[in-house]
Amino acid sequence: MAEDKPLTVVTCTAPVNIAVVKYWGKRDEELILPINSSLSVTLHQDQLKTTTTATISRDFTEDRLWLNGKEDDIGHPRLQSCLREIRRLARKRRSGGENGGDSSSSDPLALSLAYKVHIASENNFPTAAGLASSAAGYACLVYTLAKLYGLEGDLSEVARQGSGSACRSMFGGFVQWIMGESSDGKDSVAQQVVPETHWPELRILILVVSAEKKHVSSTAGMQTSVKTSPLLKHRAKAVVPERMAQMIQHIQCRDFEAFGELTMKDSNQFHATCLDTFPPIFYLNDISKQVVALVHRFNTHYGKTKVAYTFDAGPNAVLFMLDDTVDEFVEVVKRSFPPGNNGGQFLKGLPVDAARTSEELLSAVVRDPTPGAICYLLHTKPGPGPMLVEDASCHLLGTDGLPRSSCS
């Protein structure tokens, strides 16, 4: 192989997000345009992130992709859409506009657009755990390619074409995806509502439910819902617009009770829509339902919303609470779902202190403990958007453009 070093190697990281006003249903499958706006919280990358390295070289003979160390098919249509769109924007920028300008072949950057790209991507969490890896994955891909080709500005519109929810992972904190009206999707973009620093007490606890079985993908599930669910149409038209405004207000006011209640109601309506789909789709399992009941008993005991749940297209529960509730609620979860044989590994992420829970609380909320039903708990908080990694030792691709062992 030639001694030449690749022109550039860029590594970036991007976060996972969890929606509190759910996106479910497209009005345009190809451009990934939604039938309603949505709103999410970006999770901290210390706990959940995708890392992507991209590099170009005139020595490369084809575009190539490695996912979690294994070569994968780069021909996936959504991946190709992102790649094509980034290259188009880069070409446009270099030529000084859509139609004009001088794309001189003496410009080494213009030349590099003809080069093939190698991309490697990996998650710091098990992909199989069902923790929304495609949103972080596409956000990271688009952000990294943009840095590689020197693009600036909002690229949520490009990330959206990889996976709808990915556009919200292009920002940190609290993020809305405005559905837009235009048929070309130019106005269907994500926007930060407030940064993660706005609500420092907010915590997130992910309950990873065991016995993960294959379920209907979001993409396929929402297609069937759009075709068959009258509730989905009603939700998009009459419910979500008002909820978006309310949710933004609750976040701005840091009103946990109102935020939590609306989060639970919107998750419930999303799953009701799945049940209204024909044939029906069930993402919640018995353990998910036990978590729902536990949260409600806990809140009833205190006479207010201290914990809120939300579920995506799978059985894992994502719980919101304030930092002063975490220790006690974790103890309640441990009593309700006693750890299986991974006792030492049951708690991951931010530290949790031992809590002194009253017998009164335990007897009011813990019912029929189910050992081993929760695989582990991940404690995290809202976090920042995608980031450039300056440390060259973290590149996932070596100077030969092939995977190398990763940075821990």
Residues binding ligand DP6 (CB under 6 A):
19, 22-24, 32, 38, 134, 163-165, 218-219, 312-313
Output 237 or 304, the one with its CB closest to ligand DP6: 237
Give min distance, CB of 398 to ligand DP6, in A.
Answer: 31
Give min distance, CB of 63 to ligand DP6, in A.
Answer: 21
Q: How far apart are CA 104 and CA 320, in angstroms?
A: 53
Q: Measured in Å, how far apart are the chain's first and last C-alpha atoms?
A: 28
Count the neighbouring beta carbons within 10 Å of the beta carbon of residue 4. 11
Nearest alpha carbon to residue 385 among 222, 211, 196, 256: 196
Q: Phi first, then psi: give them for residue 43, nearest 5 degrees.
A: -90, 155
Q: Phi first, then psi: give them for residue 351, nearest 5 degrees.
A: -65, 150
> 312: which residues sit within 8 A by CB, 6+ positions away?
18, 19, 22, 132, 218, 283, 318
Output 136 or 373, the one with its CB closest to ligand DP6: 136
Output 112 or 310, the one with its CB closest to ligand DP6: 310
Q: Would you call 296 exposed, middle or buried from its count of C-beta atoms within 10 A (0-12, 13-18, 19+)?
A: middle
Nearest alpha carbon to residue 24 among 218, 186, 180: 218
Give min distance, CB of 165 to ligand DP6, in A.
Answer: 3
Helix (H), strand (E) at residue 12: strand 8-15
Angle subtended at Cα 406 by Cα 12 and Cα 47, rounded to the nearest 5 degrees: 60
Q: How far apart are CA 231 and CA 222, in angstroms?
A: 12
Output 145 or 274, the one with its CB closest to ligand DP6: 274
Nearest alpha carbon to residue 221 among 175, 277, 182, 294: 277
Which residue carries 């919101």 as its tokens?
A: 320
Q: Phi first, then psi: give them for residue 348, nearest 5 degrees.
A: -120, 160
Token pair of 70, please? 């294994």
Q: Closest CB to ligand DP6 belongs to which residue?
A: 164
Give min distance, CB of 59 to ligand DP6, in A.
Answer: 34
- Is residue 79 within 8 A of residue 87, CB to CB? The reply is no
Output 179 or 326, the one with its CB closest to ligand DP6: 179
Output 55 or 134, the one with its CB closest to ligand DP6: 134
Output 23 or 376, the one with its CB closest to ligand DP6: 23
Give min distance, CB of 89 to ligand DP6, in A.
Answer: 21
Q: What is the SS3 assignment for 223? A: helix
Angle subtended at Cα 63 by Cα 157 and Cα 81, rounded to the nearest 5 degrees: 25
Output 22 or 379, the one with its CB closest to ligand DP6: 22
Give min distance, CB of 256 to ligand DP6, in A.
Answer: 21
Output 20 or 321, the one with its CB closest to ligand DP6: 20
Give min distance, CB of 80 to ligand DP6, in A.
Answer: 15
Output 256 or 283, the one with its CB closest to ligand DP6: 283
Give min distance, CB of 40 to ligand DP6, in A.
Answer: 6
Give min distance, CB of 329 to ligand DP6, in A.
Answer: 23
Give min distance, CB of 312 to ligand DP6, in A.
Answer: 4
